[in-house]
Amino acid sequence: MRITGTDHRNRHELGHNLSHRAYYLIRERILIGQIPLGTPLSRRGLARELGMSFLPISQAIERLADEELVETRPRAGTIVSRPTPQNIRAHYILREALECQAARLFAEKASSEERLELRKMAARLDNMLASRGKRRNAEVVFRTQAYHMSFHMRVVECTGSVALSKAIEKTHVLIFNWLYDISTKLSLPTRWHGVLTEALERNDQDVAEKAMRKHINYGLRQIQETLAQQLGPDTSQLPSSLGRTLNVAPRAWRK
């Protein structure tokens, strides 16, 4: 049988699609807590479980490693990244810098329509978070956390600062919040996002910044201590940079 250029392209596209699918499937399992931080990953085991060959799984793992969601060490294999308390604090510092500036700009620039939109999003999100505690299945967890990300990104978008939006997307600080929340099952106060939105709507940049800083740092010590206990004392020997990480999983997550 004669192999044409089209055949080669089709095979290449099939391989690319499989590795792309494997990447999102593995990443989604991490995001919903089915594969916790620090968990060893078996490429051959994942290939059997997902019904794929070894190659697309390896390509997916390499992509996740490039984004530093997983890490591969000599003689130790591949694991989901294990943050130290110092890693977590560094992430919070970065998120605080970016989102507090977003809060100030929102208070200054957001239109009345955007403020109303955020108020509605906050009410919906708080209801979703309350329901998540009662029905903590994978689909509910994913939808809730995805909408949580969309709420915080909407604050940034309403500032009109493209550079700030790109900085938050590039550093993926919100995905770390997702992972830490899932890993520790942190409970949030009632109307947590409604209270934040009320502060953002007051046209006072200092009030908005203070409220966002309080919002971001809530539970930090608990998260650091919980993950340190879960991951064990050897986390201090692991790479300290969590750097770049995920994009949003391929679902409708804004509405």
Domain CATH code at residue 117: 1.20.120.530
Asked whether residue 46 carries a pLDDT value surpassing 80, the answer given is yes
- Helical residues (DSSP H) of the chain, grouped into ranges: 5-31, 43-50, 54-66, 85-109, 112-134, 138-157, 162-171, 173-184, 192-200, 205-217, 220-231
| 175 and 226, same domain (yes or no) | yes
Q: Is residue 184 part of a domain?
A: yes
Q: At what angle do helices 54-66 and 5-31 cross, to 10 degrees?
A: 60
Q: Is residue 149 part of a domain?
A: yes
Instruction: Give the per-residue pLDDT at 136.
Output: 65
Tell me, what CATH number does 66's domain have?
1.10.10.10
Residue 103 banded pLDDT, cuts 50, 70, 90? very high
pLDDT tens digit sequence for 213-252: 999 999 999 999 999 988 876 543 433 333 333 333 334 3
Mean pLDDT of 48-55: 93
* Stronger pLDDT, 11 or 38, i.e. the higher one: 38
Instruction: Give the per-residue pLDDT at 68.
Output: 74
Q: Is residue 245 part of a domain?
A: no
| 53 and 94, same domain (yes or no) | no
CB 209 within 8 Å of CB 100: yes
| 71 and 95, same domain (yes or no) | no
Instruction: Give the per-residue pLDDT at 77.
Output: 87
pLDDT tens digit sequence for 118-156: 999 999 999 999 987 666 688 888 899 999 999 999 999
Q: Which two tokens stand for residue 61?
A: 């793992």
| 143 and 101, same domain (yes or no) | yes
Range of the domain at 215: 85-230
User: pLDDT averaged over the chain?
Assistant: 84
How many distinct structural domains can be found in the chain?
Answer: 2
Percent of the chain with pLDDT over 70: 83
Instruction: Give the per-residue pLDDT at 238.
Output: 38
Mean pLDDT of 153-174: 93
Assign residue 205 a region (left: φ > 0; alpha: ψ between -120 and 50; beta: otherwise). Answer: alpha
Instruction: Give the per-residue pLDDT at 74.
Output: 77
| 187 and 90, same domain (yes or no) | yes
| 205 and 124, same domain (yes or no) | yes
| 119 and 58, same domain (yes or no) | no
CB 165 within 8 Å of CB 16: no
Assign residue 68 a region (left: φ > 0; alpha: ψ between -120 and 50; beta: otherwise). Answer: left
Instruction: Give the per-residue pLDDT at 144.
Output: 92
CB 147 within 8 Å of CB 94: no
| 98 and 223, same domain (yes or no) | yes
* Stronger pLDDT, 175 or 80, i.e. the higher one: 80
| 96 and 215, same domain (yes or no) | yes
Q: Is residue 90 part of a domain?
A: yes
Asked whether residue 204 carries a pLDDT value surpassing 90, the answer given is yes
Percent of the chain with pLDDT over 90: 57
| 182 and 210, same domain (yes or no) | yes
* Stronger pLDDT, 159 or 254, i.e. the higher one: 159
Range of lowest pLDDT (9-13, 39-43, 74-78, 147-151): 9-13
CB 22 within 8 Å of CB 56: yes
The secondary structure of 109-129 as a DSSP string is H--HHHHHHHHHHHHHHHHHH
Instruction: Give the per-residue pLDDT at 83.
Output: 85
Q: Is residue 123 part of a domain?
A: yes
pLDDT tens digit sequence for 70-101: 888 777 789 998 888 988 999 999 999 999 99
CA 46 from chain centre, in angstroms, equals 22
Instruction: Give the per-residue pLDDT at 26.
Output: 95
Q: Is residue 255 part of a domain?
A: no
Instruction: Give the per-residue pLDDT at 182.
Output: 86
| 111 and 197, same domain (yes or no) | yes
